[in-house]
Structure 1
Amino acid sequence: MSSKPLRLIGQDEGDVAPVSAALQDAIARIADLKFEARARRFTAVFTRYRWEKPAGKGERIRSGLQIGSVTSVKAQRLRKGAPDAFVSLLSLTFEPAGGAEDPSGTLVFTFAGGGALKVEVECVDLVLADVSAPWKASARPDHESEGAP
């Protein structure tokens, strides 16, 4: 198994899409999604599918995401009272707050089942880094069969 860790840095709106692609179908416990208001930082630990690997037997790996310059975090339809509940990430997008000169906006985590997390930021400031050794995935995520009878 390849053990070259992934490390992505996001500093503007265009950098969010590659991070979203790397995190597609990642799984996290609610307890591993944390907002540190005093530090103005949001952190999350995900188990992600390694989409960047060539075709073949897939792998999963633990990855940490850190977002800086955070002003607030709002959860929608997430089971905050169930810290051991899991969420599956569909996408991460950036919604700009103002015009081209305004770097602030909202990073939106969209989860399977209709849940969302909105992280308001002064600017895009994120780092995604693998933090474990990879292991064989039991299956490759398959969106074609989701929702099929």
Structure 2
Amino acid sequence: MTDAKFEDGAEQPLRLMAADMDDLQVMSALTQDAVFPGNEMSFRKSERRFALLLNRFRWEDKTAAERRGRDFERVQSVLFVDDVLGVQTQGVSRDEETVYSLMSMAFEAGEDGMGRLILTLSGDGAIALNVEALNVSLKDVTRPYVAPSKQAPGHDD
């Protein structure tokens, strides 16, 4: 018997849940550099649910794409945050022309499991979700497609 490798899940759609800081760290890494227009986010106050439709870079497939010499891929994914009590934004417009890049997700714990989930966007944008508990899910909803740039995202150090 051999241990599972990261690449073993490369061809399957992601379906992940985050209920603690370790889970969120993994989800944050897999959603880094996901892009979305400002009109693809919604907060349903009565359901206490925030949703964001992302075009996610497939970090889990990057090594396999490099090894096989094929183009990098993106996939549409939905990020759901449940148990949301309120949403605050900074430097975020809800129009369809403005495209954002998700850089990271972090949780600032409060009392009794409550806290703030911070979605940091490239530039100066941020989305803060006041939550009753950390309850985040990510689900791929389309088949992967060739990344328009055919490149992996890069960051200046």
Relative to the length of structure 2, the TM-score reads: 0.84
Deviations, residues 55-92 of structure 1 (Å, cap 9, x unaligned):
21321000001111000000001123x23311101101
- Percentage identity across aligned positions? 34
Query: Can you give the 5+ residue segments of structure 1 that lack an aligned partner in the other structure?
Result: none
Kindly report structure 1 stretches of 4+ aligned residues shifted beyond 2 Å. none
Q: Which residue of 1 aligns with 2:151?
A: 139
Residue 14 of structure 1, CA deviation: 2.3
1:32 matches 2:40: yes
Deviations, residues 87-136 of structure 1 (Å, cap 9, x unaligned):
101101100013xxx21100000001110000010001111010000012
Q: Which residue of 1 aligns with 2:133?
A: 123
Q: Which residue of 1 aligns with 2:118?
A: 108
For 2:57 and 2:24, how far apart are their aligned partners in 1?
18
Query: Can you give the 5+ residue segments of structure 2 that lack an aligned partner in the other structure?
Result: 1-9
The one-letter amino acid paired with 2:128 is K
The one-letter amino acid paired with 2:96 is P
User: Does structure 2 retain, via aligned residues, the 8 Å contact 1:3–1:133?
Assistant: no
Q: 1:79 to 1:45 in 2, by over 3 A?
A: same
1:38 is paired with a residue of what secondary structure? coil
The one-letter amino acid paired with 2:104 is S
Pairwise mapping of residues 72-83 of structure 1 onto structure 2 (< 5 A)?
Answer: 72-80=86-94, 82-83=95-96
Indicate the RMSD between aligned Cα atoms, in angstroms: 1.4
Q: Which residue of 2 aligns with 1:51?
A: 59
1:91 is paired with a residue of what secondary structure? strand
For 1:132 and 1:108, how far apart are their aligned partners in 2?
26
For 1:67 and 1:51, how far apart are their aligned partners in 2?
21
Deviations, residues 7-31 of structure 1 (Å, cap 9, x unaligned):
1111123211111011000001111
Higher helix proportion, which one?
2
Residue 53 of structure 1, CA deviation: 1.2
Relative to the length of structure 1, the TM-score reads: 0.88
1:96 matches 2:109: yes
